A and B are shown apart, each in its own frame.
Chain A
Amino acid sequence: MKNRKYLLPIAATGALALALTGCSSGGGGGEATNVDCAPFESYGKHEGKTVSVYSTIVDIEATNLEKAFAPFEQCTGATIKYEGSKEFETQIGVRAKAGNAPDIAIFPQPGLMADQAKAGNLKPAPKAVSDLVDKNWSADWKKYGTVDGVFYTAPMLANVKGYVWYAPKTFKDKGWAVPKTWDEMLTLSTKIAGEGTMKPWCAGFESGEATGWPGTDWVEDVVLRAQGPEVYDQWVSHQIPFNDPKIVDAMNKTGEILLNDKFVNGGFGDVRSILSTGFAQAGQPVLDGQCAMHHQANFQAANWPEGTVVAPDGDVWAFMTPPIDAGKGQAITGGGEMVGAYKDTPEVQAFQAYLASADFANNRVKLGGVISANKGLDPANAQTELDKQSIALLQDPKTVFRFDGSDLMPGAVGSNSFWKGIVAWINGTPAQQVADSVESSWPKG
């Protein structure tokens, strides 16, 4: 009886599996055949060794990442066992605590990495990696991988936030100019709102349990541009409280756009519709002439519908959120991944070194969709105009770069109360009250 009972589901699912695939074969992976192994000699030979890697990167991006790992595997003989999960942020702590950590974790948030380092889980980066980072990255980036004076994690890939996306054709047809300062941007917004054909801005902060994060990017951009990098650093490291008047001012300044029903939310409705609009779709009214501008990082490029041309004369293009105080120079915010190791075996350290090398940056960027702040990266490898521009910004020594502030703050703020604060703020709570409540959630001691 027991057998019969389970035969049906087995048969049904088996048949379905067959139908789904139309018969599958092994396949996949290792297409790299002719790799020049000379640059890999310094990493040594690790035949039969496995390095497990865990990160937030999934799907197509993960496939590309594995392709960029392939030359290392081929030349050193090591096997990279990659696992990506969108639940990385919650799972890495679980695994580390249970003593089942991966060999290497790729952290999207320095704050999370710092938690792991402080808990004594992460191994300090070997000297070879530290030297590579000194050579290939700016001091700022090295700082983000350093906890209590010990350097743990080398940066991997990067993204540039604060781009304002627009449709060049619309701007040309209407005779609008790309604004050079914040004030010009507000003037332009007023003008567009006055013309009445479309709203100047569209925005969407909905992102499941992370709803609100695109708003933190907005505020961070304004804090950095209005108050300068010093205040930004103090804010992020809690040397000034979250509800400092400077921060509340910055929020109110952001609110001039985001909380203005005349300015938002093209294609979706009023101010509050920002909260119910998914961040991945929020930019699309730009294409349809329902809104003029959309604030989002360079990775928005992947969110346009298939076939959209991203170029200065294409369907969409982006300008950097302009300076508020021109005297404070070009300052940008951005994010990136940090490679941390839970083991210090030779093969793990060799792989860490590879990820910090210019070879990896070039191999990965060549496949498209990402950029890196690695100075050894040849901008010619970038696949799109925008990537080239972003890389140039990151590599320009004059650029003041600051990491996404919410990613640097403790988890209780950066991955919780700040998001929730943004949501409450868009939903009508005054900035002061929101800042007070985020401040009160900052972990003591």
Chain B
Amino acid sequence: MEFLGGKFLQVFIALAVFAALIGLIMLIVDRAPKSVKDKVTIVGFLAPAAILMLVGLVYPAVQTSFLAFTNASGQPNGLDNFVWMFTQPEALVTLRNTVIWTILVPLLSTGFGLAYAVFIDKARGERALKALVFMPMAISFVGAGIIWKLVYDYRGPSIEQTGVINAVRVALGMDPKQFLLDAPENTIFLIIVMVWIQTGFAMVILSAAIKGVPMELVEAARLDGANPWQQFRNVTIPGIRGALVVVLTTITIATLKVFDIVRTMTAGNYETSVVANEMYTQAFRAGEPGRGAALALVLFLLVLPIVVYNARVLRQQREIR
């Protein structure tokens, strides 16, 4: 195991350097003259994250924006990429699917995650119960792909089924179904996979938030004669409103960006493609980075309403405070 030494020495050095940097920032902030202390604090606390994000995200985003107006060999081509995007035969289907994904996934994941978090709160074996729903998050995409293949798998009617659902269908006397091939419901079957994964995220965050709701308030409501539903509706929900917005928003953005599920399960065939999958395919498979970048810009536009909504929520929060 001699290789472990070298690897963890690197880790140790990295952590030490990082601790030293943070220590230095804290020292500077602490020692700053009173007159500029607030400013120094803001700069000191924000600068490391800001620099990293400017370099790692803003700069590439700006580059991508330019890329969207170039062709495969990097020559400017005006709006050609956007024209292509909206004139290709499946453009509308892709857009429609993306909208269905971004509506259903956040609502269903958050709904199931919240329900589960509430139901098992303080239950015996809560940790183990949570782990069951958390597990899909922890499993790799490769694993998730195989898992759902084992669920949706299809064999001809006269042959023994290997997929769970088709086995049940046959046992009930129905014909087996090609779940991933039959449009338009196949999009729903792909969405189920994403919901299955994201529910764990919603559940963990919301469970933490529920634990932040003062027990006394719930108890008081109970003493006032509120039934469990009313307690939940009038005490718990308002108490975790912030977390709910965060979860819904995060899952929405993750859904807009997700392409692995579509890519590995149908490769965007059978009218199941979404914008993020087209982006990946064009930029990396088809060698058309310009088209990929143009699609990335469309994704950015799609997320704008969510950004605006969050800005409003933020302002409301501030006003209350």
Give chain A's interface residues, CB within 8 Å of chain B. 14, 17-18, 21, 23-24, 26, 89-90, 93-94, 115, 118-119, 208-212, 265, 267-270, 272-273, 275-276, 410-412, 415-417, 419-420, 423-424, 427, 437, 443
Contact = CB atoms under 8 A, between A and B. Distances in A.
Contacts of A212: 267, 269
Interface in B199-222: none
Contact of A268 (B1, B89, B155, B181): B155
B242 interface: no
A24 B1 contact: yes
Contacts of B267: 208-212, 419-420, 423
B269 A272 contact: no
B48 interface: no
Contacts of B270: 423, 427
Interface in B165-194: 178, 180-181
Most central of A14, A18, A93, A276 by chain B CB within 10 Å: A276
A258 to B, nearest CB: 16
B25 to A, nearest CB: 16
Find the residue from B1, B4, B285 having the highest chain A CB count within 10 A: B285
A420 B156 contact: no
Given A208-B263, A270-B156, A416 B181 contact: no
Given A410-B287, A416-B286, A437 B156 contact: no
Interface of B: 1-2, 4, 72-73, 89, 145, 153-157, 159, 178, 180-181, 263-264, 266-270, 281, 284-288
B285 A411 contact: yes
Given A17-B4, A209-B267, A210-B267, 19 more contacts: A14-B4, A23-B1, A89-B284, A93-B284, A94-B284, A211-B267, A211-B269, A265-B156, A269-B155, A269-B156, A269-B159, A270-B156, A273-B154, A276-B180, A276-B181, A412-B288, A419-B267, A420-B268, A424-B269
Contacts of B156: 265, 268-270, 273
Nearest to A261: B156
Nearest to A437: B89
Given A269-B155, A420-B269, A415 B181 contact: no
A445 to B, nearest CB: 8
Contacts of A272: 178, 181
A417 B73 CA distance: 19
A26 B2 contact: yes
Chain A contact residues: helix, strand, loop or mixed: helix
Give the residue among B73, B156, B263 with the most A Cβ atoms within 10 A. B156
A205 B4 CA distance: 43
A275 B263 contact: no
A432 B188 CA distance: 30
A23 B155 CA distance: 44
A412 B291 CA distance: 11
B14 to A, nearest CB: 13
B286 A273 contact: no
Contacts of B287: 93, 115, 410-412
A221 B284 CA distance: 27
Contact of B153 (A24, A276, A410, A423): A276
A17 B4 CA distance: 10
A210 B266 CA distance: 10
Contact of A269 (B1, B157, B281): B157
A14 B11 CA distance: 14
A17 B3 CA distance: 12
A215 to B, nearest CB: 12
Contact of B154 (A210, A276, A423): A276
Contacts of B288: 411-412, 443
30 contacts: A14-B4, A18-B1, A89-B284, A89-B285, A90-B285, A118-B73, A119-B73, A208-B145, A208-B263, A208-B267, A209-B263, A209-B264, A209-B267, A209-B281, A210-B267, A212-B267, A269-B154, A270-B156, A273-B178, A275-B181, A276-B180, A276-B181, A411-B285, A411-B288, A412-B287, A412-B288, A415-B285, A416-B286, A423-B269, A437-B89
Contacts of A420: 267-269
Give the one of B72, B157, B180, B288 with max A CB within 10 A: B72
A410 B286 CA distance: 8
Contacts of B284: 89-90, 93-94
A378 B2 CA distance: 43
Nearest to B153: A276
A17 B181 CA distance: 41
A193 to B, nearest CB: 15
A273 B158 CA distance: 13
B162 to A, nearest CB: 10
B64 to A, nearest CB: 13
